[in-house]
Amino acid sequence: MDKVSFKYERQIWRRDFKVVAGCDEVGRGCFAGPVVTGCVVFTPNITLQGRTFKGVKIDDSKKLTSRQREVADKWIRKNALIWGVGIGTVSEINRLGMSKATHSAFRRAISDANKKLKFRIDYLLIDAFYVPYIRELRIGKRNGLFSRRNPKVIDFRSRQLAIINGDEKSFSIAAASIIAKVYRDKLMYQIGSQQKYKKYGWGSNKGYGTKKHQEAILEYGVTRYHRKSFVTTFISRAI
């Protein structure tokens, strides 16, 4: 099994792309709340051994506890060259669909990171996605998705590389998944703390379709934070 490392980053750094960003999203499968993306850049001279550093663990955010993510989030923000966060709103998800809303969120995270830099990101590593319409970060015509079954030489005519399970392989993508997850969890906790939304349990379920959340939807109906297509499908099956 592949371990989180800088294997992909180092291949690209050697080709003189110095500002290599890892990107990932969280919250695509939720009933409520936005989709959130993270973008993280580390410097080529970073030297880390393994995945745990003085109590900090960097891995796919889904594999970490809430406490581990909080600790890692602080470490990433301190040790990365730069980081950014982007949001695809519920309104965009309902109007445009999940795919377009997620692409918008990726572009916002990348833009957020670029604004903090004196120079632009020049290569993207993304967990299973290619993101269209990013200035100076074109998608190659022959790109596939990197996986164990589909290993290939990186096409450097492209400025993006999509990696299946990238948050389990690339250090930068894993870091992006962590900052996105921590950001979104805090956001859903804040929204869920409002009196009129407490009954949906977003402080604990973060908008995912848990049993409590499903029961609340059937009893109280939907809110402006719910994703219409997701909830409509659930209700049609529940009735």
- Could you tell me if residue 226 is inside a domain? yes
- Could you tell me if residue 129 is inside a domain? yes
CA dist 222 and 215 (Å) reads 11
Burial class (CB in 10 A: 0-12, 13-18, 19+), 141: exposed
CA dist 33 and 165 (Å) reads 23
Quick one: 177 and 229 in the same domain? no
> How many domains, in total, are found in the chain?
2
For the segment 10-36, what is each residue's pLDDT rounded down to a tens digit? 999 999 899 999 999 999 999 999 999
Both tokens assigned to 210: 């848990």
Quick one: 91 and 198 in the same domain? no
Quick one: 121 and 217 in the same domain? no
- Could you tell me if residue 1 is inside a domain? no
24 among annotated binding-site residues = yes
Both tokens assigned to 86: 């982007």
- Could you tell me if residue 158 is inside a domain? yes
Quick one: 207 and 183 in the same domain? no
Quick one: 45 and 78 in the same domain? yes
Quick one: 137 and 202 in the same domain? no
Both tokens assigned to 48: 């880390």
pLDDT value at residue 135: 84
70 among annotated binding-site residues = no
Mean per-residue pLDDT, 189-213: 96
- Could you tell me if residue 2 is inside a domain? no
CA dist 153 and 190 (Å) reads 44
Can you give the residue range of the structural domain that contains 209?
194-238
Quick one: 55 and 159 in the same domain? yes
Q: Is the model's pLDDT at 194 over the cut of 50?
A: yes
From the list 43, 24, 5, the residue with the least C-alpha distance to 124 is 24
Record the pTM.
0.92
- CATH code (residue 129): 3.30.420.10
For the segment 77-108, what is each residue's pLDDT rounded down to a tens digit? 999 999 999 999 999 999 999 999 999 999 99
- Could you tell me if residue 227 is inside a domain? yes
Q: How many residues does the chain have?
A: 239
Q: Is the model's pLDDT at 52 over the cut of 90?
A: no
DSSP code at position 138: P
Cβ–Cβ < 8 Å for 206, 33:
yes
127 among annotated binding-site residues = yes
